């Protein structure tokens, strides 16, 4: 814009250092900047136009004030209502700021058609059509978008074969399986065919390989799920199966009778076993009837032991039980050992093979030894652990089944 010519005869300068009125005629002053309080050489009600802005801004000199010998001017930006005009809007998205057009107008639009814009006098109303948080559209399995129609907009939920839809409340719907036929879970494979989970397969696992689903039948007791590379998992029995753990507390004996009829070989482990009576030996008895009674004859078994610092071999033997230790003390060191019971639950005679460490009450030294022998009985299916005399003050006992 080219600045207007300001060569018109000037007003008489305001001769006082303060005031709010003037009788001089209005002559507009044009500049490329806004006035400041130091622009004082103008009469009251002088107009100032900054033509460097779009649209131009117009100011009026309201008053002059004398402050400690200096004159300061008060310029007011003009609008129709006496407040500063709006020249642009700052918006969070798009191009900011948004400027008025050549006539000073701003246009309000709704790009998606979801906002109704109305106004009256100095008020603009922005209303979301369809109500608050209205559903705009739904995406279906085939990738198409369903757009609501009507006001505020509705989407129909249609049922199908064995599927019904109904209204629960004013704002919720129900989709239910209908009919009298049982509807089993189905899996689709890579080719799109479906496989149903039969009712008789309660407890099965769903597995798959190369996109083909399959059902893994129930496992049996003590089986574990085992991974197989490039194939579905399978049920396997591990080499060592934990069966039961028992803790003695001034107990006469520890009897294992649970699931002792499943394996040919069992492993018994004992830890920190302390006798109530010194010089007592730890022994094991077997049963042929699940623990209803214990076999006390026919054994040919022994326990050979020595002190940790001696080469002399000592022996405990019995025909009424399996001895698995030498004479121990009642101190807190206790006994620690293990024994395999072999050829259980079959027609061969059960035998034992084990080791034990303890403090020997006769040798008065830390000792260790090995047990071995036969029970003279076949069909062994339960085990009883006790001392040759007195109770078991304390100790932990664990039973394992050995596979293979």
Q: Would you state the pLDDT for residue 231?
A: 77
Nearest residue to 378 (alpha-carbon basis) of 294, 262, 288? 288
Ranges in the chain, pLDDT < 70? 1-26, 79-87, 102-104, 112-113, 130-138, 141, 143-154, 178-203, 208-213
Q: Token pair 């597995």 is at which residue?
A: 207
Report yes or no on 40 lying in a domain.
yes
Q: Would you state the pLDDT for residue 314?
A: 93
Report yes or no on 383 lying in a domain.
yes
> Is the domain of 103 the same as that of 251?
no
Report yes or no on 199 lying in a domain.
no
Secondary structure class of 199 (helix, strand, coil): helix
Q: Would you state the pLDDT for residue 372?
A: 93
Number of structural domains found in the chain: 2
Q: Would you state the pLDDT for residue 165?
A: 83
> Is the domain of 104 the same as that of 253?
no
Report yes or no on 254 lying in a domain.
yes
DSSP 19: B
DSSP labels for 34-99?
A: ---TT--SS-TT-EEEETTSSS-EEEEEEEEEEETTEEEEEEEE--TTSSPPP-EE--SSSSSSEE
Dihedral angle computed from the Cα positions of residues 125, 130, 135 and 138, in that order, rounded to the nearest 10 degrees: -120
Q: Would you state the pLDDT for residue 59?
A: 85
Which of residues 118, 146, 178 is at a domain's end?
118
Q: Would you state the pLDDT for residue 100?
A: 72
Residue 338: domain span: 242-402
Query: For the segment 134-154, what is each residue's pLDDT rounded down to a tens digit?
Result: 566 667 767 666 666 665 566
Which of residues 87, 118, 149 is at a domain's end?
118
Q: Would you state the pLDDT for residue 210?
A: 65
CATH of the domain at 274: 2.60.120
Which of residues 101, 118, 135 is at a domain's end?
118
CA angle 315, 321, 324 (to 5 degrees): 50
Q: Would you state the pLDDT for residue 7?
A: 45
Q: Token pair 């060569």 is at which residue?
A: 7
Q: Would you state the pLDDT for residue 190?
A: 54
According to the 3-state scheme, what is the secondary structure of 104-117? CCCCCCCCCCCEEE
Q: How far is C-alpha 245 from the geometric centre of its chain's CA atoms?
A: 34
DSSP 2: P
Report yes or no on 147 lying in a domain.
no
Report yes or no on 150 lying in a domain.
no
**Cβ–Cβ < 8 Å for 392, 276:** yes
Distance CA 398, CA 110 (A): 77
Report yes or no on 9 lying in a domain.
yes
Report yes or no on 227 lying in a domain.
no
């Amino acid at each position: 814009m080219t600045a207007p010519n300001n060569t018109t005869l000037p007003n008489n300068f305001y001769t006082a250092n303060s005031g709010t009125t003037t009788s001089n005629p209005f002559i507009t002053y044009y500049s490329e900047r806004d006035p400041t309080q130091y622009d004082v050489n103008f009469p009251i009600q002088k107009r100032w136009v900054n033509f460097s802005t779009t649209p131009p801004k117009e100011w009026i000199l309201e008053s002059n004030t004398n402050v400690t010998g200096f004159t300061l001017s008060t310029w007011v930006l003009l609008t129709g209502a006496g407040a500063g005009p709006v020249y642009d809007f700052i918006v969070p998205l798009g191009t900011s700021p948004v400027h008025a057009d050549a006539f000073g107008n701003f246009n309000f639009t709704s790009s998606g058609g979801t906002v109704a814009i109305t106004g009256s006098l100095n008020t603009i109303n922005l209303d979301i059509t369809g109500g608050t948080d209205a559903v705009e559209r739904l995406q279906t399995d085939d990738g198409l978008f369903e757009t609501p129609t009507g006001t505020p907009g509705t989407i129909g939920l249609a049922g199908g074969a064995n599927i019904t839809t109904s209204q629960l409340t004013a704002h919720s719907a129900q989709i239910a399986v209908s009919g009298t036929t049982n509807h089993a879970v189905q899996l689709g494979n890579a080719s799109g065919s479906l496989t149903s989970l039969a009712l008789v397969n309660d407890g099965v696992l769903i597995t798959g390989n190369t996109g083909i689903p399959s059902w893994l039948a129930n496992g049996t007791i003590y089986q574990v799920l085992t991974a197989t590379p490039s194939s579905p998992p399978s049920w396997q029995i591990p080499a060592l199966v934990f069966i039961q753990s028992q803790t003695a507390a001034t107990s006469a004996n520890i009897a294992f009778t649970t699931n002792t009829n499943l394996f040919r070989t069992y492993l018994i482990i004992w830890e920190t076993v302390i006798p109530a009576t010194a010089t007592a030996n730890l022994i094991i008895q077997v049963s042929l009837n699940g623990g209803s009674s214990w076999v006390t004859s026919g054994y040919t078994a022994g326990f050979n032991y020595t002190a940790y610092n001696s080469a002399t071999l000592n022996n405990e033997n019995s025909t009424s039980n399996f001895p698995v230790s030498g004479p121990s003390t009642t101190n807190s060191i206790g006994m620690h050992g293990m024994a395999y019971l072999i050829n259980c639950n079959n027609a061969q005679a059960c035998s034992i093979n084990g080791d034990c460490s303890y403090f020997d009450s006769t040798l008065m030294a830390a000792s260790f030894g090995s047990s071995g022998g036969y029970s003279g009985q076949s069909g062994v299916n339960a085990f009883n652990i006790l001392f040759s005399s007195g109770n078991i003050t304390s100790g932990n006992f664990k039973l394992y089944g050995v596979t293979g």
